[in-house]
């Protein structure tokens, strides 16, 4: 069943048509039979009237004025041998048996229904006949007049059913529209103006499901956020203890170096998890504002400049003012992650090139580096959570947790932007191209 | 007059409605696009009009047997389409078979509408010069068409609302019976055109179910019921059903080899 409305319209209309038309045929047959019996009664009365109006027993030739070509009468003597009188169109012979009652006879290329009346008083036979086809047409004309409204009513019924079913299905349509129109982060209950009995269970179960989903999301968000916050404190304490340990044992101790790397990795991981949940489209109730991405890129590069300097990398920013509608904090996180990746995987002395410019009604951001790049078959996978290309055996030996590009993809999704990974123009390195839609 | 019109139009509409509703339902059950039906209906109605307008030339052709021969050909085309359809259904996974399957459905629907539609047009236009009879004929035609289409709608929804496998089997069964009826009617036309010698009827069941009764009309459309069939008609009917069953069975057995 492709459409409930069409199913209801067609099945109801087919039922109404079938029932009405079968009833119509039955009514037609009954009415026609009734009409025939009325015509017969009239024929009988006419025969009696003719008998009383023609009391002469002498023979007359075609005396009677012809009333209509569809009827005739004859008056025969008691033996049926002599025709006493007749209408002008009547035959001069006996068309059927002279026995009292109704008969069907052939005359003048037509079928006639006659009534033979025995006039006991004057001892003679009166024959009155009518053309059957004319009787039938007359009866049919009358009957059809009464049945015509039933046929005309069908298209009207179709229109009314179509509208009524449309009204009946309105709550279902409203329900579907509300479900369809929900944003990814909107888990509020569905409100219908009037909920019909048939939809009560569906609406209440859907709302209960949305409620459970909302609670689950909130719980997950709270847990991740709380866990990350709670972990920050012990990590800070660890860093203090590490500093004290370094004072006592000196910087050259291998265990101290390993411990430092471990604590830094844990700190980075906690920060990234926090960023991941803050920027997730399911969670973020983003406040959008006009942001100049070029200016923002300048700020981020300036604040992170030290890390590039440490590896003696050459970083450049090209482009011009590029305004887009976005969440400033999220866009800053996006730039930080892309630049941090470029910094990590570009060898010392390498190049990093950032381009921000207006492009096709929107804004284009390109971050490319002269690092080792990522093979094309890995482009999809690197956006997965905790996935790192070549894992911990990565040539760079850099600190990472595999969340950077996942965070980037969340922010891209949040801004309805598109992201594409490719090969850098600076060699075989990675080029990340993001296209943000323009301000609406 | 009204009853005559009802019976004649019902007979034609019911047959076409049954073919269309079964094909529509099977197309839906086999996940086929339904837009082709609109195209087939349009082409069918145009073909029916062309046929009706050129009836006198068609009748004069082949020494006055043109109409009978053309009708026999149209019925045969429907049967061949049904045969290829049934053979192609088990090989739906193969693109070429799917294409062939669609072509047979479209061809069967177009041919059925040309055949039945031309009869309807000829019958109704025959009364255009007789104003006294036109009104009951038009009303009878509306009633006959209404009943026929309603039955078609019920068949369609019965098939699509059944469990898919049952719907397909019932659809197959109806197509088998329609196929037998088509060949029997083609033979009847060839007997009328004197290409096949007429023989005495195998049986006469008109006292039990008259061909002119409502039940007779429904049975005619459903199973090709004839109260007084010639032996050739009966033989054609049963052998064509047998051929459809064997062809569909063989195709079903070899379905894995083409997919």
Q: Is A11 on the interface with B (CB under 8 A)?
A: yes
Whether B154 and A11 lie within 8 Å, measured CB to CB: yes
Residues of chain B contacting A, Cβ within 8 Å: 1-3, 6, 28, 132, 135-136, 139, 142-143, 146-147, 149-151, 153-154, 157, 160-161
B1, B142, B150 member nearest A151 (Cβ): B142
**Record: contact A154-B28, CB cut-off 8 A:** no
Q: Find the closest chain A residue to B4 by CA distance.
A: A25
A9: which chain B residues are within 8 Å (Cβ-Cβ)?
none
Report the alpha-carbon distance of residue B103 to residue B116 in Å, rounded. 20
For residue B164, the chain A residue with the least C-alpha distance is A1
Asked if pLDDT for residue B219 goes beyond 50, the answer is yes
Asked if A140 and B1 come within 8 Å (Cβ–Cβ), the reply is yes
**Least CB–CB distance from A21: residue in B3, B132, B143:** B143
Q: Which fold has domain A4-161?
A: Beta-Lactamase (3.30.450)
Spans of all domains in chain A? 4-161, 184-285, 286-437
Q: What SS3 class is residue B174?
A: helix
pLDDT per residue as tens digits for the range B88-119: 888 877 888 888 888 898 899 999 999 989 98
Residues A425-437, mean pLDDT to the nearest whole number:
89
Q: Find the residue in B nearest to A142 (Cα).
A: B136
Mutate to test the interface with B, among A146, A151, A157 (most CBs of B within 10 A): A151
Chain A residues close to B139, C-beta within 8 Å: 144, 147-148, 151
Share of chain A above pLDDT 90, in %: 20
CB-based contact A92:A75 (threshold 8 Å)? no
Q: Is B123 helix (H, G, I), strand (E, B) or coil?
A: helix
ipTM over 0.85: no
Among the residue ranges A184-188, A276-280, B140-144, the one predicted with the least confidence is: A276-280
CATH fold of A184-285: Helix Hairpins (1.10.287)
| A359-381 pLDDT, tens digit each | 888 899 999 998 888 888 888 78
What tokens were used for A416? 């309805």
pLDDT at position A127, please? 92
| Residue A367, helix vs strand vs coil | strand
Interface test with B, best of A28, A143, A152, A155 (most B CBs within 10 A): A28
Cross-chain Cβ contact B6/A25 below 8 Å: yes
Tell me the nearest-neighbour CA distance from B212 into chain A, angstroms.
14
**Beta-carbon pairs below 8 A across chains A and B:** 55
Q: Is A70 an 8 Å CB contact of chain B?
A: no
Give whole-number Cα distances, B110 to B37, B97, B151, in Å.
9, 20, 20
**Across-strand partners of A352?**
A315, A369
pLDDT in tens, A260-300: 888 887 887 777 777 777 666 655 555 678 889 999 999 99
pLDDT of residue B60: 87
pLDDT at B259: 44
Using a CB–CB cutoff of 8 Å, tell me whether A161 touches chain B: no
Q: How far is CA A396 from CA A367, A392, A421, A432, B40, in A?
A: 19, 9, 19, 19, 66
Query: Which token pair is A118?
Result: 């025995």
* Three-state secondary structure call for residue A113: strand
CA gap A295, A302 in Å, rounded: 11
Instruction: Give pTM, 2 decimals.
Output: 0.66
Spell out which residues of chain A touch residue B28, defining contact as CB-CB under 8 Å. 2
CATH topology of domain B2-258: Growth Hormone; Chain: A; (1.20.1250)
Angle subtended at Cα B98 by Cα B92 and Cα B100, rounded to the nearest 5 degrees: 135
**Chain B closest CA to A135's CA: distance in Å?**
13
Instruction: Give the closest-approach CA distance of B104 to chain A in angstroms.
Output: 24
pLDDT confidence bin for B238, thresholds 50/70/90: very high
CB-count burial class (<10 Å; 0-12, 13-18, 19+) for A37: exposed
Query: For A217-229, how does the pLDDT look when each residue is reduced to its tens digit (9 = 90+)?
Result: 788 777 777 777 7
Q: What is the pLDDT of residue B6?
A: 86
Give B153→chain A minimum CA distance, Å.
7
Structure tokens at A187: 């888990």
- Please state, rounded to an integer, the average pLDDT across all residues of chain A: 84
- Please give the pLDDT value at position A280: 65
- Residues in CB range of A191: below 8 A, 6 or more apart: A178
A176 by DSSP, 3-state: which? Answer: helix
Reported as a pLDDT band with limits 50, 70 and 90, residue A23 is confident
The string of DSSP codes covering B86-102 is HHHGGGTTSHHHHHHHH
Among the partner residues B2, B28, B150, nearest to A14 by beta-carbon distance: B150
Indicate the Cα dihedral angle A135, A140, A141, A145, nearest 10°: 150
Q: Give the CATH architecture of domain A286-437.
A: 2-Layer Sandwich (3.30)
Say yes or no: A30 contacts chain B, CB-CB below 8 A: no
Q: Name which of B28, B143, B157 is nearest A24 (Cβ-Cβ).
A: B143
Measured distance CA(A214)–CA(B231) in Å, rounded: 75
pLDDT tens digits, residue range B11-54? Answer: 889 888 988 998 888 888 777 777 788 888 999 999 999 999 89
Residues from chain B contacting residue A140 (CB–CB below 8 Å)? 1-2, 136
What value does the mean pLDDT take over residues A417-436? 89
Please say whether the beta carbons of B241 and B179 come within 8 A: yes
């Amino acid at each position: 069943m492709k459409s409930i409305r069409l199913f209801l319209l067609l099945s109801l209309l087919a039922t109404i048509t079938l029932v009405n038309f079968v009833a119509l045929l039955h009514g037609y047959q009954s009415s026609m039979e009734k009409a025939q019996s009325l015509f017969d009664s009239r024929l009988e009365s006419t025969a009696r009237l003719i008998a009383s109006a023609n009391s002469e027993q002498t023979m007359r030739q075609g005396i009677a004025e012809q009333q209509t070509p569809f009827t005739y009468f004859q008056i025969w003597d008691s033996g049926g041998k002599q025709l006493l009188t007749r209408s002008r169109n009547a035959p001069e012979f006996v068309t059927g048996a002279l026995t009292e009652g109704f008969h069907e006879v052939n005359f003048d290329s037509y079928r006639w229904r006659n009534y033979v009346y025995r006039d006991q008083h004057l001892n003679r036979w009166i024959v009155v006949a009518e053309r059957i086809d004319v009787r039938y047409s007359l009866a049919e004309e009358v009957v059809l007049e009464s049945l015509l409204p039933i046929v005309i009513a069908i298209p009207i019924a179709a229109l009314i059913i179509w509208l009524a079913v449309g009204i009946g299905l309105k709550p279902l349509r409203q329900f579907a529209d509300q479900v369809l129109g929900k944003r990814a982060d909107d888990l509020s209950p569905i409100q219908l103006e009037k909920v019909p009995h048939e939809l009560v269970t569906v609406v209440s179960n859907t709302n209960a499901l949305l409620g459970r989903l909302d609670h689950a999301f909130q719980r997950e968000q709270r847990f991740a956020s709380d866990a990350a916050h709670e972990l920050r404190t012990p990590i800070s304490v660890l860093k203090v203890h590490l500093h004290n340990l370094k004072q006592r044992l000196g910087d050259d101790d291998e265990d101290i170096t390993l411990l430092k790397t471990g604590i830094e990795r844990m700190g980075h991981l906690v920060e990234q998890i926090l960023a991941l949940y803050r920027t997730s489209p399911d969670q973020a109730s983003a406040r959008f504002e006009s942001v100049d991405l070029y200016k923002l890129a300048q700020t981020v590069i300036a604040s992170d400049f030290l890390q590039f300097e440490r590896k003696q990398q050459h970083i450049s920013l090209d482009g011009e003012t590029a305004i887009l509608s976005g969440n400033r904090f999220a866009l800053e996180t996006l730039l930080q992650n892309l630049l941090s990746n470029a910094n990590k995987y570009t060898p010392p002395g390498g190049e990093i090139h950032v381009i921000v410019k207006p492009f096709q009604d929107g804004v284009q951001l390109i971050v490319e580096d002269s690092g080792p790049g990522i093979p094309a078959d890995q482009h999809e996978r690197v956006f997965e959570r905790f996935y790192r290309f070549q894992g911990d055996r990565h040539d760079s030996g850099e600190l990472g947790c595999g969340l950077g590009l996942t965070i980037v993809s969340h922010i891209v999704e949040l801004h309805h932007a598109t992201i594409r990974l490719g090969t850098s123009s600076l060699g075989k390195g990675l080029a990340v191209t993001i296209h943000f839609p323009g301000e609406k | 007059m009204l009853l005559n019109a009802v019976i004649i139009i019902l007979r034609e509409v019911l047959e076409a409605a049954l073919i269309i509703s079964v094909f529509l339902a099977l197309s839906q059950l086999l996940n086929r696009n339904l837009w082709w039906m609109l195209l087939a209906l349009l082409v069918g109605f145009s073909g029916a009009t062309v046929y009706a307008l050129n009836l006198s030339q068609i009748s004069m052709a082949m020494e006055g047997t043109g109409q009978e021969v053309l009708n026999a050909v149209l019925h045969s085309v429907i049967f061949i389409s049904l045969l290829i359809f049934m053979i192609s259904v088990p090989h739906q996974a193969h693109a070429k078979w799917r294409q062939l399957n669609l072509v047979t459905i479209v061809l069967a629907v177009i041919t059925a509408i040309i055949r039945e539609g031309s009869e309807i047009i000829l019958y109704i236009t025959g009364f255009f010069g007789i104003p006294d009879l036109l009104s009951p004929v038009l009303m009878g035609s509306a009633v006959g068409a209404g009943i026929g289409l309603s039955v078609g709608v019920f068949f369609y929804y019965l098939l699509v609302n059944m469990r898919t496998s049952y719907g397909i089997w019932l659809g197959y069964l109806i197509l088998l019976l329609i196929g037998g009826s088509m060949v029997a009617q083609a033979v009847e036309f060839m007997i009328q055109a004197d290409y096949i010698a007429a023989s005495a009827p195998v049986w006469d069941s008109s006292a039990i179910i008259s061909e002119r009764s409502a039940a007779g009309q429904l049975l005619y459309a459903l199973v090709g019921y004839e109260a007084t069939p010639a032996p050739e008609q009966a033989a054609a009917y049963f052998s064509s059903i047998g051929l459809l069953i064997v062809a569909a069975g063989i195709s079903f057995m070899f379905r894995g080899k083409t997919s």
